[in-house]
Each structure stands twice: as structure tokens, then as C-alpha cells.
Amino acid sequence: MRKLRVALGVLSLVSSSLTYPKEIELKTEIIEENLIGHIPKYNIYTKAGLDVKSEYEEWVSNEIKTNKKDTHRLGFEAGFEATRNIDENFELGIGAAYQNHTKAKSKIHKISNGYEKYDISKFDSIPLYAVLKYKFETSAIWKPYLKATLGYSFNFKDKDAENDFSYFAIEEASRELIKFDTKIKDDLYYGIGAGVEYNSFFADLMYKVNEANTTLEDEGQFIGRDSFDYSRVTLGFGYKFSF
């Protein structure tokens, strides 16, 4: 009987010695899984931007330029982007924004009895696009990155914009105003630039282009069609949520 108790005690000791390492290994795996689960996989960027330098493509009708490349004021935008961390350096995702473009400066042409002033409509855009971002590895608190976007721009006339050409003679009494129906076509959207992150805040400088095609008609009669792309350098800033 005493031998039996001793044998059972030895078996119990051996069994506990075999199961204890397994318990440690299992607890270690659980801890590692919990730690990995806390590493952010997804990012949501809320952002705004100002067009610090912008220009329109010159719209030409019968070899007459209707606008200058220069613009009147700053354009602006607001939007968001959602990305997934592919690895420590790359992010891939999608984005959307509302972009309020500025207005092109008018082109004035002198004629024998006065001058003609051409005033073409500006347009605004809502692009949907893919985002590719590369983050540089650094021990500093400032994290630099490169970024590229590519997508489709839904373009529409601003309701407060002037959608017409105007003709003015020398005398105010002979002034004539001619309005043309203006149609803006949707087209490609793309951008490339660089920025920096500080904790959850970020700022970047991007070169962006909204391609567009404008058609003018006068009471159903075709007047002309030409490219009217809007390009600019945008200073963006915002906040990042990671989870």
C-alpha cells in the first residue's frame, strides 16, 4: 500500500512537470495574440486643405482664349481617407472629398468698337480615389511620408458662378450680354506629394489635378468644346484615427 502511494505520487509529479510547460506556452501565446491585436491595422484620416497655387487650362473657342490660367482666390477642400496598414511602411486605401475650386480670371479682347470679355464657368468636384502611402522608418517623433492618389472626379458647375460670355461696347448703352449653356464633363483625378505625421496629426503638400471637359451651347446650337483641367498645389492638414 505504501509503495502504491509512492508510485501515485511520482506519477502525479511527472504529470504536473509535463503539463506546466504547456500551460506556460499557452499563456505566452495568448499574451502575444493580445499584444498583436493592439497593433493598429486601419486608419481613418479626416482632412482639410487650401489651394495655395492654382490654375485652369485655357479654354479656346475659334482660336480665341476665353480665360487666363491665373485664378482669383484660394480654393479649398474637405474629405476623409480610410487605409489599411499593409506592413510597417505601406498603407493602401480609398478616399473622397468635396473640392471647391476657385474661379479663373477672365480674358479681355479688344475689338474695333470696344472689347469683348469672356467669362467661363468654374466648377467644383467630388472625387472618389485610391490612396497609396509610403512611410519612412525613423526614430524621430516626426514621421515623413510619400503619398499618391488616383481616381475619378465628378465635376459640376458652381451655382453662384457666372456661366456666360459677355460682350461690351465702348458705350454703356450698347452693352450686350450673351449667355451660353455650359456643361462640365466628369473625368480623371490624380495627385502626388509628401507630408509628415506628428502623433495623430499630419500635414502634407500635394500636387493635384481634376481633369474636365467643358461644352458651350447657345440655345441648343453647339459653340465649342475643350479641356478645362484644374491643377493646383494643396496644403492639407488633419487628424488620424487608428484602430
Judge contact between 49 and 75, C-beta under 8 A: no
CA 119 centroid distance within chain: 28
Q: What are phi and psi of 158, to 5 degrees?
A: -80, 130
Q: Is the dihedral of CA 142, 143, 146, 147 positive or negative?
A: negative
Joined together, the cell numbers standing for residue 91 give 498603407
Judge contact between 50 and 237, C-beta under 8 A: no
Residue 114 CB: number of other CB atoms within 10 A? 15
Question: Distance between CA atoms of 99 and 152, rounded to whole angstroms?
Answer: 13
Its pTM stands at 0.79
pLDDT by residue for the chain (243 residues), tens only, comes to 554 454 445 335 434 544 444 454 544 444 444 444 567 899 999 999 999 999 999 988 777 788 889 998 899 999 999 999 999 999 999 999 999 999 999 887 777 666 777 778 889 999 999 999 999 988 889 999 999 999 999 999 875 444 454 555 555 546 666 777 788 999 999 999 999 999 999 999 999 999 999 888 877 788 888 999 999 999 999 999 999
